[in-house]
Amino acid sequence: MVSVEKSGTFALGGDSVVRRLGYGAMQLAGPGVFGPPKDPQAAVAILREAVASGVNHLDTSDFYGPHVTNQLIRKALHPYADGLVIVTKVGARRGADGSWQAAFSPKELTEAVHDNLRNLGLDVIDVVNLRSMFGIHGPAEGSIEESLSALAELQRKGLVRHIGLSNVTPAQIEEGRRICEIVCVQNHYNVAHRADDTLIEELARGGIAYVPFFPLGGFTPLQSAGLSDVARRLGVTPMQVALAWLLRRAHNILLIPGTSSIAHLRENLAAAELDLPHDAIIALDEVGTRTNAAA
């Protein structure tokens, strides 16, 4: 069985130690992250294998499905092993047609936290990320004070251990840090999409984790070809190369690749043991350099 131990560890909030290669449960829901999966037992098997492989950082949300991924996590893993850190996010809800809608008011966020607690079978959630909905397809400016203050109040009540942010700008992160401790930031970042390069370094100095999503998202055909060339030369998959590059990029980067396939899960987790040679790193860095120059 593949192990993620070589990915290293990071302490979220200084006390929740996770391996840097985790698992994102988003793809366990049905098509469009809506409704149940075709094979719920296969989804349960993926979760159990991930944890058996050493994964102790699971990323989820009650608006995946909705409710589907949290219920699958509970079915597969409850009662939870000591040291398993479950991270969820709030700030959105699903329409009856599967649409993604903002749910950013204090009342909606409080209800969302209680929904996550109930469906996961928890008394306290390890980390709750507030997902900014000012920009659906990327970060956009807007005050998060009222929403984040509501989460901070739930933290004071003991329902939330740590708080993070998702889909946010540097200004929103600074605003958030004046309200409560922020332990992680989830934004779109990969070898081609490098807008948060400076932010990652700033967060690292503050002991804050950076959790990139879409490790293969936003690539041009030329960038994809460059990544595939490196993967082919090393005899591995492009996803493995992309994940290995991210692990090397900064010590505060945590990965949550998702999949609904056992075979792909094993491939992704094997990235923890992939050592990229110097020439491969240069080639991959150039992909990002070309992206930034064209921006």
CA distance readout (Å), 189 to 58, 88, 193, 204, 255: 19, 19, 5, 15, 11
Residue 46 contacts residue 72 (beta carbons within 8 Å): no
What is the rounded end-to-end Cα distance, in angstroms, of the chain? Answer: 42
- Classify the C-alpha dihedral 57-62-64-65 as positive or negative: positive
Element (H, E) at 152: helix 145-156
Where does the chain show beta strands of DSSP type E? Answer: 9-12, 16-19, 23-24, 57-59, 85-90, 92-94, 100-102, 125-131, 160-166, 182-188, 209-213
Catalytic residue among 23, 64, 189, 210: 64
80 assigned to active site: no
Q: Is 36 exposed, middle or buried (0-12, 13-18, 19+ CB in 10 A)?
A: middle
Element (H, E) at 62: none
Cα atoms found within 13 Å of the Cα of residue 208, Cβ hemisphere only:
25
The residue type of 20 is: R
d(CA 291, CA 192): 6
Q: Which two tokens stand for residue 80?
A: 């939870």
d(CA 70, CA 116): 7
Query: What is the set of active-site residues?
Result: 64
